[in-house]
Amino acid sequence: MKKLFLLPILFFMIACQAQDKTEFGKEALEAKMTSVDGKEIAFKDILAQYKGQVVVIDVWASWCPDCKKGMPKVHNLQKQFPNVKYLFLSYDRVDEKWKQGIESFNTKGGDNYHVGTSMKEGAFSKDIKLDWIPRYMVVDKNGKIALFRAIEADDEKLISTLKSIQ
């Protein structure tokens, strides 16, 4: 009887793991993002800048209470892994608030791009199954997604992933 009870749990765990992607979809790679200086750039071209490097992607917004609370953990992560590149992708509703957030939350230790105004819309959001921010992802030196989802910058999976792929 216990085995029958555990079977659905096992299937659920396997299904959840199967949802973790190792590559970004074509539409997400083509998605346009805006740099701090106002230039539009495709996500694939942003990633190309990091070829051969490990990247932590932090999807955030300045209006997000959990993002604000999580920034000290991000700064600790940056101290712990100084050789990793950090990419901050914002879903702020207004460019000016995003730029103020870069200053306020000191995300200058990485590159900053404005993804869009709604985390529920757009190819990038849909591709990464964005349902919560902050959201952390790790991209390995080959451009593959090594960690698809973490919602805390001190998540054990995030840290162990970084330790294993540096």
pLDDT tens for each residue of 85-124: 999 999 999 899 999 999 999 988 899 999 988 888 889 9
> For residue 15, is pLDDT > 60?
no
Please list the residues that pair with 114 across neighbouring strands.
34, 90
Give pTM, 2 decimals. Answer: 0.86
| 18 against 154, higher pLDDT | 154
- What integer pLDDT is reported at residue 16 of this predicted model? 45
- DSSP state at residue 108: G
pLDDT tens per residue, range 61-88? 999 999 999 999 999 999 999 999 999 9
pLDDT tens per residue, range 22-49? 999 999 999 999 999 999 999 999 999 9
- What integer pLDDT is reported at residue 109 of this predicted model? 85
Q: Return the SS3 of 154.
A: coil
Q: How far is Cα 36 from Cα 82, in angstroms, rounded to an integer?
A: 22
- What integer pLDDT is reported at residue 117 of this predicted model? 82
Could you give the C-alpha distances from 2 to 10, 12, 14, in angstroms and in order?
Answer: 12, 16, 19
